[in-house]
Amino acid sequence: MIEVCSISKFFSVVNDKGLAEGLTAVLNVSLLIPDGSIVSLIGPSGCGKSTFLEILAGLQAPTDGEIRIDGKRVLEPLPSTRKEMEDYKRRYRFISPLANGVFTDRPKHDIAMIFQDYAVFPWMTALGNVVFALELRSAGKRRSERPSRAELEEKARIYLGKVGLAGAEHKYPSQLSGGMRQRLALARALSVEPKIILMDEPFAAVDALQREKLQDDLLFLWKEAGDNAAPISIVIVSHDVPEAVYLSDEVIVFSPGPGGTVRNRILVDVPRPRARTDPEILEIQERIFAVLQYDINQESMYAI
Amino acid sequence: MTDDCYETTGIRRVIQELGGFCKNALGNFFSPEFLCVLAPLLLLWELLPRYDIIPASLLPPLSTVAATFKDMLLHRNLTLHIAYSMGRFFVAFGIAVGLAVPIGMLMGWNQKIRAFILPLWQLLSPIPPPAWVPMTIIVFGIGSSMHIFLMVIGIFYPVLFNTYQGIKDTDPRYLASARVFGASEFTLLRKVYFWHAFGAIIMSLKTGVAMGLVMLVIGEAYGGRMGIGFLLGQAKDYFLIPEMMVCMMVTGFIGWFLIEVLKYVEIKAAIWKVGR
């Protein structure tokens, strides 16, 4: 379970006059994401949903509030007073708070993350990419319990097969198409058997036909994990309303930035498997479109 | 496995790799286009001095240079001189790269380390490497240690700064996706930063080879009794232009060859970049 308690994130940016200015990326977001559910974050660009996802993954510290994954805090918030600031600086003098450790590989939480691009390392083969993740995940175990290289490769092959990349094990990402690259990223994320997968616009760079196939495959693999008593929660950041509605149990609409906050939470209470043209699905899509449309128009009125 | 039948092993593999190397390195020279340029140039080099259009005492014809090369090879231990120079060069190259790459990686990786030591290199690197020669001769005396030190100075900075830049420019999203899986900083350095900076590091090694050869010639011309730079200095003292040209061409060839080797290493090790 992911508990998000009033997360806010401020940045200081440089404005046109070259002066420092505060920018609110995320404002007071609270959420509860139960195990094994799929949640989409949707909103106009620049509303802070990607920032929110990175805070969720522990890649950025929130300015305020905290996130707990299964009761364990992800990253402490940034200091707010001068005294706290000094303590913080002293503690993280040498190594950043994001780091796992200097020499020991140790995952903090059972998370995998998929980025739109840059998801897989171009300098490793498909197999190498998956083995890399598997190796890291087994690093916490005692030396005697660690799987051998052959076992890791065997496991990696299984997951590559699952996403339909059997036979492409020794190809480099540059030799794969965009859709296949995202499949590889998916295989890498699934192979570590995470409890949570965070996806930052995972299928945005893939053509429409491939995208639908990928979505269906994602749902299939998610369901398979759920059936094997290892439910995976998936948090997807998306621009694509139909995709969000089709995939998720709950769509969270962010208000337009700066200062994105939760505007609407829309439950998609349609049993799976769903049809893309299901009237209920279409109706929910219409509602979300209407909400976003309203926000965008309001904003343009202010702009005038 | 379908992809295993393309793998060859043993001596056939070595021959295959050598063939690939020669094709890569020499392909440019033996293309018809370049031969159209090279052949007339060589012909002019031979004929202009021969017919006294340019005085032969200033520009000896190609055949004289070739004869001198053969003479030096047979009677003046040219190979031994080259071996000495190369031995020193590789020691210096090893030391410089062994220092510069780790230091550059540490500086690129951590802001604190960068804050401590980067200004030092920024202060020292503008000193042109040849300006170190007099000090070095006084401190180390004349001998191999002086030559090696000078070459280290020449190779160190380009490798250091390029490595540092390459590491610093690593895309944060690659780092993020490895960190989420629990990668420690050391693993990141080994598996992410290094490979991301690989192109920059190889590039810097090429610059390093060039700078190292510059310092090789300068250092050996200033002092020593062995080495290609020493031969060049001697030829200068006795005004032997064919010998000078032989030395120039030998150093040029060495530099070209080393850079071709590095290029080949890059192609082989960074196979993931090919086809982009």
Q: Using one digit for the tens of pLDDT, what is the confidence trace for A190-222?
A: 888 888 999 988 888 888 888 888 899 999 999
Supply the pTM of this predicted model: 0.84
pLDDT digits (tens, 9 = 90+) for A3-48: 888 888 888 888 888 888 888 888 888 889 988 899 999 888 778 8
What local confidence, expressed as pLDDT, does residue A301 receive? 57
Is residue B173 left, alpha or beta, with left meaning phi > 0 and alpha meaning psi from -120 to 50?
alpha
Q: Locate B247 and state its tokens.
A: 């030395």
B88 shares a domain with B75: yes
d(CA B254, CA B89): 11
In 3D space, the residue among A72, A78, A80, A65 whose CA is nearest the CA of residue A26 turns out to be A65
Domain-by-domain residue ranges, chain A? Answer: 111-193
Which domain does B15 fall in, by range?
1-60
What does the alpha-carbon distance between residue B200 and residue B162 come to, in Å, rounded to a whole number?
6
Do B47 and B125 lie in one domain? The reply is no
Q: pLDDT tens, A92-138? A: 777 777 777 788 777 777 888 888 776 789 888 899 999 998 888 88
- C-beta atoms of B3 and A170 within 8 A: yes
Task: Mutate one of B171, B175, B180 to test the A interface: name it (highest A CB count within 10 A).
Answer: B180
pLDDT digits (tens, 9 = 90+) for B23-53: 888 887 888 888 899 999 999 999 998 888 8
What tokens does A88 get?
């913080």
CB–CB of B255/B262 below 8 Å?
no
Tell me the mean pLDDT in the region B245-266: 91
At the topology level of CATH, where does A111-193 sit?
Rossmann fold (3.40.50)
- Nearest Cα to A165, choosing from A153, A149, A176, A154? A176
Question: How far A296 CA sits from the closest chain B CA (Å)?
Answer: 29
pLDDT band at A304 (very low <50, low <70, confident <90, very high): very low
Torsions phi, psi for A8 (to 5 deg): -130, 150
Which tokens hold the place of B269? 């090790």
State how far Cα B147 lies from the chain centre: 16
Residue with tokens 């979505």: A215
Nearest-neighbour CA in chain A from B10: distance (Å): 22
Block residue for tokens 């508990």? A3
**Does the pLDDT of residue B16 top 90, yes or no?**
no
CB contacts of A91 in chain B (<8 Å) are none
Asked if A136 and B185 come within 8 Å (Cβ–Cβ), the reply is no
Indicate whether B1 pLDDT > 60: no
Q: Are residues B123 and B231 in the same domain?
A: yes
B42, B60, B78 - which closes a domain = B60
- ipTM of this model? 0.83
Beta-carbon separation of A107 and B112 below 8 A: no
How buried is residue B25: exposed, middle or buried, by Cβ count under 10 Å (0-12/13-18/19+)?
A: middle
* Rounded-to-integer distance, Cα A193 and Cα A137, Å: 9
- On whether both B7 and B31 belong to a single domain, the answer is yes
- Residue B7's pLDDT band, with cuts at 50, 70 and 90, is low
User: Pick from B41, B60, B79: which residue ends a domain?
Assistant: B60
Same domain as B206, residue B100:
yes
A128/A156 Cα distance (integer angstroms): 9
Tell me what pLDDT residue A203 has: 85
Question: The domain that contains B138 carries what CATH number?
Answer: 1.10.3720.10
pLDDT band at B5 (very low <50, low <70, confident <90, very high): very low
The tally of domains found in chain B comes to 2
A108–chain B Cβ distance below 8 A for any pair = yes
- Give the single-character DSSP code of B226: S
pLDDT band at B119 (very low <50, low <70, confident <90, very high): very high
Q: Which residue among B180, B183, B191 places its CB closest to the CB of A57?
A: B180
Sign of CA dihedral B31, B33, B36, B42: negative
The per-residue pLDDT for B158 is 94
Q: pLDDT band at residue B184, thresholds of 50, 70 and 90?
A: confident
pLDDT of the residue at B258: 92
Q: Residue B261: is it exposed, middle or buried by C-beta count within 10 angstroms (0-12/13-18/19+)?
A: middle
Tell which A residues from 172 to 231 touch B, by Cβ distance under 8 Å: 172-175, 192, 198
Peptide bond connecting A273 to the previous residue in cis, omega within 30 degrees of 0: yes
**Percentage with pLDDT > 70 across chain B:** 96
List Cβ neighbours of B11 (8 Å cut-off, separation of 6 or more). none
Whether B12 contacts chain A with CB within 8 A? no
Cβ–Cβ gap B182/A113 under 8 Å? no
Q: What is the pLDDT of residue B4?
A: 45
Average pLDDT, chain A: 85
